[in-house]
Amino acid sequence: MNSETRSREEVLCEDVLREEICRVGQSLHIRGYVHATAGNISVRLKDGFLITPTDACLGTLDPARLARMDAQGLQTGGDRASKTLALHRQIYAADAQARCIIHSHSTHSVALTLQGVWSDDDIVPPITPYFVMKVGHVPLIPYHRPGDPQVALQVAARITAMAGKGTPLRAVMLDRLGPVAWPRRGQRGARGTGRNRAPVVAVQAGSSGAERSPDRRVAAPLRRHLVAGAQAHRHTAAIDGPRPVKRWRSRSAPVWPINQD
């Protein structure tokens, strides 16, 4: 569907969404949650989706140069799409309620995956009620090079499996790469000002170090809990009821190829 066959409302809506991607990208960059050309953002459209270009800095995005994909996932405009395109496409295909997707390389989140997550199904224990309510289950997706289609397939499989259990995912953690989070229809989105802060919480769970003081106040006790391990949380109500406490494992970090979004 091109601009001639789209209604004026759809074109206006797309213009607003383009501006919003740039606003959110700049906001994440200013606050230190993304750096250099790491991270990417996409937004679902009626007939496809918009996604940030490959090697683009989220702090200086140009609305007119965002990559536009059609319903089949083929690029119809803008600069060359992020190499994580397949991942975004699979998430939109697997979760019809997914409205937009944010991926960052948040420092603390990456450090957590290096240290060893709580379990492959939940990277951290149900530490606070808000984590349970606003974020929910965040599984770990095993490491593959950025853009590897295997990641997209594994994330889609996780989404389908969790939806089947009645606990739809809103985020996953890519091993050694960082979080991917998406708000679902009927929930407030990427601004994180409403009922659903999942995308923002998941993306901000670890930042590049320039976080504002309120985040630091939250991060300090959170980090203490993380380091203390799951043992300290055995009395915390688990997301799905009691579960065996598992010590976080530590893993050696192998050398892997440097790649960009």
Nearer to Zn ion, 211 or 261 (CB): 261
Distance in Å, CB of 49 to Zn ion, minimum = 17
Of 33, 92, 130, 143, the catalytic one is 130
Distance in Å, CB of 165 to Zn ion, minimum = 27
The site that binds Zn ion (CB under 5 A) totals a number of residues, namely: 3
The stretch among 5-13, 44-52, 198-206, 253-261 that binds Zn ion (CB under 5 A) is 253-261
The CA distance from 253 to 250, in Å, is 9
Instruction: Determine if 122 is a binding residue for Zn ion (CB under 5 A).
Output: no
Instruction: Determine if 261 is a binding residue for Zn ion (CB under 5 A).
Output: yes
The CA distance from 15 to 3, in Å, is 12
Q: Provide the Cα torsion 118, 124, 125, 126; round to 10°.
A: -160
130 is catalytic: yes
Distance in Å, CB of 46 to Zn ion, minimum = 27
The CA distance from 160 to 91, in Å, is 10
Distance in Å, CB of 163 to Zn ion, minimum = 24
117 Cα distance to chain centroid: 17
The CA distance from 105 to 82, in Å, is 14
Instruction: Determine if 175 is a binding residue for Zn ion (CB under 5 A).
Output: no
Dihedral sign for Cα 21, 26, 29, 31, please: negative
Nearer to Zn ion, 14 or 29 (CB): 29
257 Cα distance to chain centroid: 22
Question: Which residues of the shown chain bind Zn ion in the complex (CB under 5 A)?
Answer: 146, 177, 261
Q: Which residues are catalytic?
A: 130
